[in-house]
Structure 1
C-alpha cells in the first residue's frame, strides 16, 4: 500500500496522561438479543441501532491533503446506515494534536465510542470497554477474520489475566525489516542474488569496486542501528537481536551474547572497507528514502518499503531497469530477519461509550466483507472506487473525494485482500512482500522471551530499573562506536564491565523476575 498504513499503526505514539481514561463508571451489559446480524431480513431495512461516534486516530487521515466534503460524508453515512442500522459520526483528529484531542475526549463527557488505544495506558487506566460479551453477541465476523495460522498472541496481548478482551488486534507480529538488493545491479556486476553471508559480502565488494552509479556515488549498504540488528544480527545468534536465556535461566540482553561480539566485528570490518554508508547511524528513514530515490543504494537492511516503495520513482526518472529484490541470507546461525513484538495497541470501545452495541455492530460489518471494509476506507463502490479484478483483489480509485473519515478497526487480515491497480503505484513490488515475508514463520528469528514478553508489566520493570533508558542509550552509542572505529574492538570486554557499573545487572534481575512470573502464571 502506498501509504503503508500498517507501518504508521505500529509506530503510533499514544502518550497520554493516565487521567485521560480514568473513570469509575461501570460499563453497561451488552444485549444478547441476536446473533450479530446487522442487515434486515427479506430486503427489509435493518433496525435503528443509533449513532456511533468514532475517532479515526490510526494515522491514515494524516496523509490526506483535503478532508471530505459534507455532501460526500452524508452520502456515505446514509449508505452505511442503510446497510447496518448504525449512523456513524466522525470526530476528525486535528493534525499534529491527535493525542491531545483523544485525551480530552476520554477525560470529558463528549460522545466517543471507537478509538485506537493501548493496553498499558488506556485499558490499565480504565478507558476501555470489555469486549467478550459484545463479540459473542454481535461479533462473529470479527472473530472469524483472523487466519488460524497467524499468531493468537495478537489477541492474547489484548486480554487481561481473567480472559477478558479489551481491544481488537490490528496486525500479527511482522518481520518487516529485510535485506533488499538492486537486482539490475547484480546483473551488471555478474553476481546472483546472494543466499549466504559470504555471497553477500562478495556483492558488497563488487558494488564498492565496480561502482554502478559512477563517481564513487554507489552506496553498497545502507542501514540504521536498529534495522541492522533486526535484519543481520540473527545470522550470528540463535535468538537474533533480542533478549536471550542463559544456562541458568536468566534473561540477558543481546550485547552479553558471545556471538554478538562476532557480529559487531563483522559490521566494523564492513564499515572500515566502505561497504556500509558512513552516515547510516545518524540518518533517519527520510534520509534513506532520499538516497534510494537518488538511485544510489545497492542494498539496504531496513524496513522493506524504504526501497520497494521508491522503485517506480527511480524507474520514472533515473533508471528504467531499477528493481529491488529480497535476499534470504543464511549465516553461521541460520536466517537473520527478526519478527517484531506482539502489539498491545488495538481498536477499543470507550468505557463510557453511549452505544457499545452499535459500535461493535459497525466494526463487525466492516470486517465481514472486503467491500464493506473498502466503503469505510475508500468510499462508495462505483463512485469513489471500483473493482478491476475482485478475484485478484485489485481495485481502482476513481477519485479522492473521500478521505476515510469513517474508517476504523483497521486489520491487516483485510489489507492483504486488496491492492490498488494503479500504473503509478508501487504495489507490484510491495504486494509480494506482503504475501511472502511479512508474516513469515520459517526464515525468521524470535527473541528469547517472545512467547511471553507481551505479558510483561513494563511499568514494573521500569520502576525496578530507573536507569533503563540510560542503559539502552549507552548500548546503542557504544556499539555504534565499535562499528565506526571510534572505539577499538579490543575494549569490548571493558564495555561489558561498564554496563555492569551502569546497572545492567538490575536489568537482568528485573527481566528475569518478570519472565519467571509470567511463565509461572501461564503454567498455573
Structure 2
C-alpha cells in the first residue's frame, strides 16, 4: 500500500469541542444543525519560522469555514515519535495527518480509524477529484484517509530545444530514437566548445530507485510498455524488471554506457551534481525533474547559457503517451474512532475538508491574500507580489492542508508560456498514467525483506548496465532475488490482487 511507500514529514490535525456543519451557502449540505464554530486544533511540523497565532491567513480560513483553528507548530524531528506515542496510547486528535510507515499501516489495519470511502459521495469537492488519488491510499481495498493532494502524472521530457533544432533532433519515442539522440549530442559538440563534454542525459544514482515511480528507468520503461514497478502478466503480479520492455530499456543504457554516451560515474553521482551539469549547459535532456519545473530549468540554464532555449514534451512510446502514476499525496488525514465518537461527527469533519477545496479557500491556500501576497491581472489571474512573504505567511498552511497548487479551483496563476506548457503535460498525463498495481497491497515478505531484495536487484541492474555481468548473469541475479523472497512477494501480491478483484 502507499503507506509503505511514502517518506515525508508527519503532521496532525485535531478537532475539539462540539463539531458542527460549516456555515455559508457553499457549505456541504451535511451537518448544518447550527452555526457553532468548529474548533480545529492542528499540529504540524515546523520548518523555518512558524506563522504567528491569529495570522491573517488563519483568520480568513476561520471566517470562511466557520471554525476556530489552533495551529501548533512542532519541530519535524520530533513529530514521528509523537505520532507513535499518540497511537500507542490511543489518545489521538480527531483528524490526524500522518504519513507512510509500518506503524501507520498497523494502526489502520487494527481498526483504530474510521472508514470514509462510502461517505465521500456526499461531498462535492472531495468526490470530484480523480479517483486514483483515493485508490492509491486504500488499505485492504477500503479507504480510511484523505490525501494531501499532489499531482499524479508529473513526468515530462525537459530538453534543450536550441540543441535539438540545430542538430535536427526530435523528442524520442522508440528506444532507437533515444540511442540516436544520445549519440548525436555526445558526438556533435552542440555547445561548440571543441570538447567532448556534452551528454544527451546525465544520470545519477537514483536512476533505478526501487520505490519512486519518478525514477528515470521506470519512466523510460513505462513509456515503452513496461508496468509501473508492479504489473500483471498472465494473471499474476510481476515486477517491472521481469518484463521485456524494462529489460530492453536496461539494454539501451548498457549500450550507451559501453559507447561512453552517458556519464561513466552514474552509479555514484548525487542528484545535485546532475542538476549542476544541466545548469552548466552540458546536458540535452534533464531526466530527474518534473514537467511543471521546465521554466525553472530554463532559468537555471540561462545563468550559464543566456541564449539557451528549453522546452518540455510528454514521454511518448510505441503506444503513445504513457507515464507511471505517482502516489498523488504528501501525507494524509485519518480519523480516530477514539476521538471521533460517531459517524455524524465524522461527517462534520469531512465537511470542513470539503470547504478547503472550494475556490475561495483554494485561492487563499495557494495564492494568499489579494493585495498582500498577490495581485489580480487584467485577465483575471493571480500574480505574486513577494514570494518571500508568501513563503513565510501562506506556504506553511498550503503544505499542511489539502489544495491543488495549479490544477485546483482557485484563481488561475499567471504563467509563462513554458510554465503553462509544463502544467498541460501534467494534465494530459493524467489520462494516460499507469498505476502501480501493488501500491496498496500488503506482502509480509516484502515488509520483512523488501530493503534487502531491492538492494539486490538495484545492484544487479547497475552491474548489467556497466557490463560487469552479461544477460545470463542478469538472469542469475533475478533468480537469486526470486529465491531470496521475491517469489513469495509475487505470490502474496497475487493473492491480494485476486482478493481485491472479487
Above 0.5 in TM-score? yes
User: Does structure 2 retain, via aligned residues, the 8 Å contact 1:49–1:85?
Assistant: yes
Alignment of 1:175-190 (within 5 A): 175-190=153-168
Counterpart Cα distance in 1 of 2:22 and 2:297: 51
After alignment, is 432-441 or 470-479 more displaced? 432-441
Mark the runs of 5 or more structure 1 residues left unpaired by the alignment: 1-9, 22-26, 40-45
Counterpart Cα distance in 2 of 1:431 and 1:503: 45
Counterpart Cα distance in 1 of 2:430 and 2:66: 41
Counterpart Cα distance in 1 of 2:317 and 2:198: 25
Note the C-alpha offset of 1:475. Answer: 0.9
2:185 aligned with 1:198: no
Aligned to 1:488: 470
User: Does structure 1 retain, via aligned residues, the 8 Å contact 2:323–2:432?
Assistant: yes
Aligned to 1:508: 490
Alignment of 1:79-90 (within 5 A): 79-90=60-71
User: Does structure 2 retain, via aligned residues, the 8 Å contact 1:338–1:445?
Assistant: yes
User: Does structure 2 retain, via aligned residues, the 8 Å contact 1:106–1:112?
Assistant: no
In the alignment, which of 450, 469, 472 is matched to residue 468 of structure 1?
Answer: 450
Note the C-alpha offset of 1:268. Answer: 0.5
TM-score normalised to the size of structure 1? 0.75
Counterpart Cα distance in 2 of 1:273 and 1:363: 54
Gap change, CA 1:499 and 1:454, over 3 Å in 2: closer
User: Does structure 2 retain, via aligned residues, the 8 Å contact 1:145–1:413?
Assistant: no
Gap change, CA 1:497 and 1:393, over 3 Å in 2: same
Aligned to 1:225: 208
After alignment, is 350-359 or 315-324 more displaced? 350-359
* Offset from partner CA, 1:253-289 (integer Å, 9 cap, x none): 2333244433322220011122222233333433322
- The SS at the match of 1:475 is helix
Mark the runs of 5 or more structure 2 residues left unpaired by the alignment: 29-33, 210-214
User: Does structure 1 retain, via aligned residues, the 8 Å contact 2:10–2:44?
Assistant: no
Aligned to 2:281: 295
Note the C-alpha offset of 1:183. Answer: 0.7
* Offset from partner CA, 1:10-57 (integer Å, 9 cap, x none): 9543689xxx99xxxxx9997689898559xxxxxx933142111345
User: Does structure 1 retain, via aligned residues, the 8 Å contact 2:208–2:458?
Assistant: yes
User: Does structure 1 retain, via aligned residues, the 8 Å contact 2:362–2:403?
Assistant: no
2:123 aligned with 1:140: yes
In the alignment, which of 227, 236, 244 is matched to residue 250 of structure 1?
Answer: 236
* Offset from partner CA, 1:72-117 (integer Å, 9 cap, x none): x444433433333211111213144343344455566586645244
User: Does structure 2 retain, via aligned residues, the 8 Å contact 1:175–1:340?
Assistant: yes
After alignment, is 215-224 or 358-367 more displaced? 358-367
Counterpart Cα distance in 1 of 2:187 and 2:317: 24
Alignment of 1:62-81 (within 5 A): 62=47, 65-70=48-53, 73-81=54-62
Gap change, CA 1:167 and 1:505, over 3 Å in 2: closer
In the alignment, which of 379, 385, 392 is matched to residue 374 of structure 2?
Answer: 385
Aligned to 1:13: 8
- The SS at the match of 2:146 is coil
Gap change, CA 1:228 and 1:296, over 3 Å in 2: same
Gap change, CA 1:474 and 1:11, over 3 Å in 2: same
User: Does structure 2 retain, via aligned residues, the 8 Å contact 1:116–1:348?
Assistant: yes
Counterpart Cα distance in 2 of 1:269 and 1:141: 52
In the alignment, which of 421, 436, 440 is matched to residue 425 of structure 2?
Answer: 436
Counterpart Cα distance in 1 of 2:202 and 2:186: 13
2:460 aligned with 1:478: yes
Counterpart Cα distance in 2 of 1:98 and 1:409: 17
- The SS at the match of 2:156 is strand
Counterpart Cα distance in 2 of 1:181 and 1:84: 44
- The SS at the match of 2:287 is strand
TM-score normalised to the size of structure 2? 0.77
In the alignment, which of 304, 308, 318 is matched to residue 290 of structure 2?
Answer: 304
- The SS at the match of 1:92 is strand
Structure with greater proportional strand content? 2
